[in-house]
Amino acid sequence: MITINIPASVEQILVLQQNISAALPEKYQELSFKAELITEELLTNICKYAGNDGKTEISFACGMSFIDSHPAFLIELTNTGDEFNPFTHLKKSGIEGSLEERSVGGVGLHLVLEMASHFVYSWIDNRNKIQIFLNAE
């Protein structure tokens, strides 16, 4: 498992993508696109809602894990920003209806949930923690 600490800034996405590439075993490289897209969406969401005040820090971890004995790639983002569970703020109107009827935002999180095998949000020790698992089989 690779773990790094970064400031809450969308400019850090390249650093996170490089760590994803380093953590993914060769036989699971097909997961890199999903993992990078999910990470970008979550980082953007954290910067927008949990804190973009220059003080919020993010701990990013990624690596192979298991769900019920099945291999999975784990993406974990923990931040010191305000408590914010992005999955409780999803709006159906973000993906349904015509373009004119849709609200702005929310589509990225729908994509995250579509691609994830499993996801968990928790508020622990005054930190937001999001874990996303991608099925590696």
Q: Output the tens digit of pLDDT for each of the chain's 137 residues.
A: 999 999 988 999 999 999 999 999 999 999 999 999 999 999 998 888 776 666 788 999 999 999 889 999 999 999 998 888 888 876 554 555 554 554 545 678 888 999 999 999 999 999 999 999 999 98
- Please name the helix (run of DSSP H) or strand (run of DSSP E) that holds residue 41, with its range, or none: helix 32-45
Q: How far is the C-alpha of 115 from the C-alpha of 36, rounded, in Å?
A: 11
**Domain 2-135, what fold?**
Heat Shock Protein 90 (3.30.565)
- pLDDT score of 93: 43
Provide CB contacts within 8 A for 77, sequence distance 6+.
Answer: 39, 42, 43, 46, 58, 59, 60, 128, 129, 130
- pLDDT score of 11: 92
- pLDDT score of 2: 96
Asked if 33 and 17 touch (Cβ cutoff 8 Å), the reply is no
Domain coordinates of the chain in residue numbers?
A: 2-135
CB burial of residue 78 (10 Å; 0-12, 13-18, 19+): buried
- pLDDT score of 91: 58
Residue 132: other Cβ atoms inside 10 A: 26
DSSP-derived secondary structure letter, 93: G
Token pair 């969308």 is found at 10
- pLDDT score of 102: 46
- pLDDT score of 99: 46
- pLDDT score of 132: 97
